Amino acid sequence: MNVGDKLRAIRKKHGLSQRELAAKAGLTNGTISLIEKNRTSPSVASLKSLLDAIPISMAEFFSILEEDDSAKVFYRAQELTEISPSHQGGVSLRQLGNAAHHALQVLHETYEPGADTGPEFLSHEGEEAGVVVRGSIEVTVDGAVSLLNAGDGYLFDSRLPHRFRNIGADPCEIVSACTPPSF
Amino acid sequence: MNVGDKLRAIRKKHGLSQRELAAKAGLTNGTISLIEKNRTSPSVASLKSLLDAIPISMAEFFSILEEDDSAKVFYRAQELTEISPSHQGGVSLRQLGNAAHHALQVLHETYEPGADTGPEFLSHEGEEAGVVVRGSIEVTVDGAVSLLNAGDGYLFDSRLPHRFRNIGADPCEIVSACTPPSF
DNA sequence: ATATTCCGTTTAATATAATTGTCAATCGCG
DNA sequence: CGCGATTGACAATTATATTAAACGGAATAT
């Protein structure tokens, strides 16, 4: 999200030091330092205090923040966001960018040995495709089964039931794309 | 702010239970319960996880939340928000509503014995007026000094330098209004 | 009636945000 | 230079958000 950089930019634009803003908001300069360096995620109440003191509304703040986010082009590995609920069953799905604002969703997927998505019966429209980057994986699409190795790929209609299982001994990595994005 | 009620309303509108939403967002149902009852203010990161799982953007969320706030008509005593930085010098300024969205700002002010705003040289346009509700207070406006008792009032141009001092032995309460709001 | 399941709430333990106090670096000003 | 004031950052403590695990109520099934 990068609340820190945006807060710092706005604070400086208004010619305030961390201490000045802290005094107005009823917080401390240390807190602002931590927030601006993204070493902590402020509570909604704290952030509101800060923005009220500038002043700028929460809606405005997140509006320009998310606008910036959707204009973002380059992403560091650590900036990909995990969208698999709590690494369920050794499956990691790391999404590039904020898919809600784009027509294209790209995932960096990792399947630990034994990982299994289970047979999902998704019904959303669109297509999915991917390339195996490392290891191997068994992919089932609408009954058809195939073992894909590094360099192999797949492409199918999202409405078809599909399943990924890592039956090998090593982790498997895939880079995939969906359009439109699915959640 | 009332993040809790709004989150609950949106969650229910999407037909989700606390547990369902918690699973999607990677949090726990207990956390959502506490947030919805406004017993805790979630971190920005936590709130974003919840909204992403619904899904709804932060900007959208606060946009409708603050819109609701500005439509609010009645306020309980505890809902007035303290705008005096950390009760500086025994002065408490409790604001009715979210002045940023209105043309009128009403304050419930309390001055402890000895409290003093100091000579402020505000330059914003507009007018200020108030009525002393309890105790007494010495008011200085552009050089003119007067001791006001319960029932007395004042009305002056905001651009004039003004000062409030409680030189009595009891706390003094005032209900005042400004237009347009000043911060 | 009596389990069974799902709901929201609550409590104690834990993780994390916020404060406090201090630091080195920077910027005027004499 | 040398000094005071101000800045942003950091470590250790305190306060608070979050978790994990239980509870009681309401609806549904057995």
DSSP, residue by residue, A113-140:
TT-B---B-----SEEEEEEEESEEEEE
Which residues are within 8 A (CB) of A25 and not within 5 positions of it... i.e. 6 or more apart?
A: A49, A50, A52, A53
Task: From residue A28, give the alpha-carbon distance in Å to each of A21, A32, A45, B126, B147.
Answer: 9, 7, 14, 32, 37
DSSP A167: -
d(CA A168, CA B110): 72
Q: For residue range B49-89, what is the model confidence (pLDDT) as tens digits?
A: 889 888 888 999 999 888 877 777 777 676 777 776 544 56
Angle (nearest 5°) at CA B79 between B74 and B83: 120
Question: B41: which residues sit within 8 A by CB, 6+ positions away?
Answer: A43, A44, A45, A46, B3, B35
* Angle (CA) A70 A76 A81, round 5°: 65
Q: Find where tokens 């969320």 sit.
A: B61
B13 or B80, greater pLDDT: B13
CA–CA dist B71, B77 (Å, integer): 18
- CA of A27 and C1' of D23: distance in angstroms? 38
Amino acid at residue number A55: P
The mean per-residue pLDDT over the stretch B108-124 comes to 78
Comparing B115 with A102, the larger pLDDT belongs to B115
Are A98 and A66 a contacting pair, CB within 8 Å? Answer: yes
Percent of chain B beyond pLDDT 70?
90
* Residue A110 three-state SS: strand
Helix, coil or strand: residue A81: strand
Choose among A104, A163, A156: nearest CA to A137: A163
Residues in chain B: 183
Q: For residues B110 and B172, is the Cβ–Cβ distance under 8 A?
A: yes
pLDDT band at B18 (very low <50, low <70, confident <90, very high): very high
Q: Tell the residue number behind the tokens 């409405």, with chain if given.
A: A159
pLDDT of amino acid A73 = 76
- Pick the residue with more confidence: A78 or B32? B32
For residue B20, say whether its CB is under 7 Å from any atom of strand C.
Answer: yes
Position B93 scores a pLDDT of: 82
Torsion over CA of A38, A41, A44 and A49, rounded to 10 degrees? -40
Q: Is the pLDDT of residue B5 over 60?
A: yes
Residue of B42, B102, B106, B103 whose CA lies nearest to B80: B106
A166 touches strand D (CB under 7 A): no
Which B positions 84-113 lie with beta carbon below 8 A of chain A? 85-86, 100
What is the structure's pLDDT at B111?
92
* Average pLDDT, rounded, for chain B: 85
- Dist CA B20 CA B4 (whole Å): 17
At residue A92, the pLDDT reads 81
A183 CB near a chain B CB, below 8 Å? yes
Grouping H, G, I as helix, E, B as strand and the rest as coil, residue B103 is coil
In this complex, the residue of A1, A23, A85 whose CB is nearest that of residue B23 is A85
Q: Cα separation of A140 and A123, whole Å?
A: 16
- What Å value separates CA A133 and C1' C4? 47
Give me the pLDDT at residue B136, please. 94
Query: What's the pLDDT at A76?
Result: 66
Collect all residues with Cβ–Cβ distance below 8 Å to A87 and sequence separation of at least 6.
none
- Higher pLDDT among residues B20 and A97, named by residue: B20
Nearest Cβ partner for A66 among B43, B46, B57: B57
* Helix A29-36 × helix A3-13 angle, to 10°: 120
The answer to whether A32 and B35 are in contact (CB under 8 A) is no
Q: What is the mean pLDDT of each run of 10 residues along chain A (183 residues)?
A: 89 88 88 91 92 88 83 72 64 78 84 82 74 92 91 88 91 89 66
Nearest chain A CA: its distance from B96 CA (Å): 15
